[in-house]
């Protein structure tokens, strides 16, 4: 093992991409494959999966400097990463939820059926650490983001952290983010300071949308929460107050803006990374007016139907743009379901609707399986065989395993 680690370290120092990749992807002793942010324990790995791993690792390695951008210009798939908020393992139909949760999820199920489903995908148990790990590939404690920030002040990613968006930008990708950041709310710590070419969304969390409705809000001295919009190289601007009215509307706008981004990049034939961290299903649980009452099974079911519809629109757009076969679509979440019982909350005038972790115990903010394990489905036509799944443990960090 010592010789293996030494060879791996020396290969990295020499920036020998082929040697490093072969060592990192297929260690001598049964090994662990790291697919961007997916780990597969294997003994031995299937050849098809190995080829997939090498392709995805090549993209990431290219971005961090092991290989020049032009060398892989012909092999840069578009990436659409859909990241839900407080969305439990047991919600989508492909994990046994869907209709028993009040609304069928045919589009999410389609994504899983046409690609790879990970049934043991593990993340952090809170919003901020989970997003930090996803963006940097490192355990959140290493970036100082091991817990959700409370109160005022500075928090989030510092400039020397290297994000997924920065790496993909270096590889020639256009990068757009539409949704919840929760990794910084002050100058120098917004998404457009961390590799994204453009951003529309909220810097913090959705429960802030309810603050203005609380009786003591005006006396508290706390300011309104805002939706921001920005471009790389400029300070993001406040575009509107984030209140309960817009809380119900925002995910529809995020979908529209993400689709517009995809269209612009497809037209210019530019590879793109579209990161879509939706605000659903974080409380307050308010479906868009277009979906309110649609299922007849309550707000939560309406919201689940809304999520499935929005994901379906993103899937359909890759078909319309003729980029289906060269686009990776990933659907997952930041942590398990809400911690409070359904209909109860001391933080919001709107009730919390508890989600489902399926058979797993626990919710977000706990150390149980229900907090750590979330849904995961990934489609890459003709690269990932349809209908594949694995229960082997997978993690949302990858950088720490290379270093």
Structural domain ending residue among the three candidates 44, 73, 102: 73
- The pLDDT tens digits for 376-394 are 999 999 899 999 999 887 7
| First-residue to last-residue Cα distance in the chain | 15
pLDDT of residue 344: 60
Any domain includes 17: yes
Stretches in the chain below the pLDDT threshold 70: 1-74, 340-352, 397-403
CA angle (35 as vertex; 34, 37 as ends), nearest 5? 90
pLDDT of residue 3: 52
- 9 and 38 inside one domain: yes
pLDDT of residue 343: 57
- 48 and 113 inside one domain: no
Any domain includes 28: yes
For the chain, the C-alpha Rg in angstroms (whole number) is 20
Pairing mode of beta strands 198-202, 174-180? parallel
- 197 and 219 inside one domain: yes
Distances (CA, A) of 155 to 141, 183, 358: 13, 7, 33
Who contacts 148 (Cβ-Cβ below 8 Å, separation ≥6)?
126, 127, 128, 129, 182, 205
Pairing mode of beta strands 174-180, 237-241? unpaired
Any domain includes 267: yes
The residue segments making up the domain with residue 59 are 2-73
pLDDT of residue 398: 55
- The pLDDT tens digits for 68-113 are 344 344 479 999 999 999 999 999 999 999 999 999 999 999 999 9
- 371 and 274 inside one domain: yes
The CATH number given to whatever domain includes residue 83 is 3.40.720.10
- 13 and 152 inside one domain: no
Any domain includes 183: yes
- 131 and 58 inside one domain: no
**What is the pTM for the complete model shown?**
0.82
Any domain includes 400: no
Q: Which of 91, 87, 36 is nearest to 380 (CA)?
A: 36
Any domain includes 396: no
Q: Catalytic positions, please?
A: 127, 182
Any domain includes 271: yes
Any domain includes 92: yes
Structural domain ending residue among the three candidates 45, 73, 101: 73
- 69 and 151 inside one domain: no
- 155 and 253 inside one domain: yes
Element (H, E) at 263: helix 250-267
- 341 and 195 inside one domain: yes
Tokens of 383: 């690269």
- 39 and 104 inside one domain: no
281 cis-preceded (ω within 30 degrees of 0): yes
Tokens of 263: 């269209």
Structural domain ending residue among the three candidates 33, 58, 73: 73
- 261 and 134 inside one domain: yes
- 69 and 164 inside one domain: no
Domain total in the chain: 2
pLDDT of residue 62: 41
């Amino acid at each position: 093992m010592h010789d293996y680690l030494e060879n791996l370290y020396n290969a990295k120092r020499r920036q020998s991409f082929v040697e490093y990749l072969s060592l990192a992807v297929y260690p001598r002793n049964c090994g662990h494959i790291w697919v961007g942010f997916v780990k597969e324990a294997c003994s031995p790995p299937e050849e098809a999966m190995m080829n997939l791993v090498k392709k995805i690792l090549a993209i990431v390695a290219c971005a961090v400097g092991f290989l020049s951008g032009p060398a892989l210009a012909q092999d840069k798939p578009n990436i659409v990463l859909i990241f839900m908020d407080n969305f439990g393992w047991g919600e989508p139909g492909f994990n046994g939820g869907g209709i028993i949760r009040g609304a069928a999820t045919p589009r999410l199920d389609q994504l899983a059926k046409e690609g790879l489903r990970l049934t043991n995908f593990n993340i952090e148990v809170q919003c901020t650490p989970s997003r930090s790990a996803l963006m940097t590939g490192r355990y959140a404690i290493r970036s100082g983001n091991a817990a959700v920030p409370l109160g005022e002040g500075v928090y989030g990613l510092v400039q020397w952290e290297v994000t997924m968006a920065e790496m993909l930008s270096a590889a020639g990708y256009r990068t757009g983010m539409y949704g919840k950041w929760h990794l910084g709310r002050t100058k120098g710590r917004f998404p457009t300071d961390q590799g994204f070419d453009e951003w529309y969304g909220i810097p913090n969390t959705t429960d802030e949308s309810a603050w203005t409705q609380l009786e003591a809000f005006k006396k508290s001295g706390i300011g309104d929460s805002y939706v921001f919009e920005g471009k790389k190289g400029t300070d993001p601007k406040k575009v509107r107050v984030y209140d309960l009215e817009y809380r119900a509307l925002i995910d529809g706008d995020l979908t529209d803006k993400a689709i517009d981004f995809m269209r612009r990049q497809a037209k210019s034939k530019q590879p793109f990374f579209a990161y879509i961290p939706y605000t659903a299903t974080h409380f307050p649980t308010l479906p868009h007016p277009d979906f309110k009452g649609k299922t007849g099974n309550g707000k939560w079911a309406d919201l689940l139907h809304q999520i499935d519809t929005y994901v379906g629109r993103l899937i359909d757009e890759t078909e319309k743009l003729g980029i289906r076969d060269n686009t990776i679509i990933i659907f997952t979440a930041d942590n398990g379901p809400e911690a409070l019982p359904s209909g109860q909350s001391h933080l919001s005038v709107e009730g919390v609707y508890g989600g489902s972790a399926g058979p797993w115990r626990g919710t977000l903010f706990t150390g149980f399986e229900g907090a750590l394990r979330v849904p995961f489905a990934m489609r890459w036509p003709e690269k990932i065989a349809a209908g594949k799944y694995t229960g082997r443990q997978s993690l949302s960090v990858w950088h720490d395993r290379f270093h």
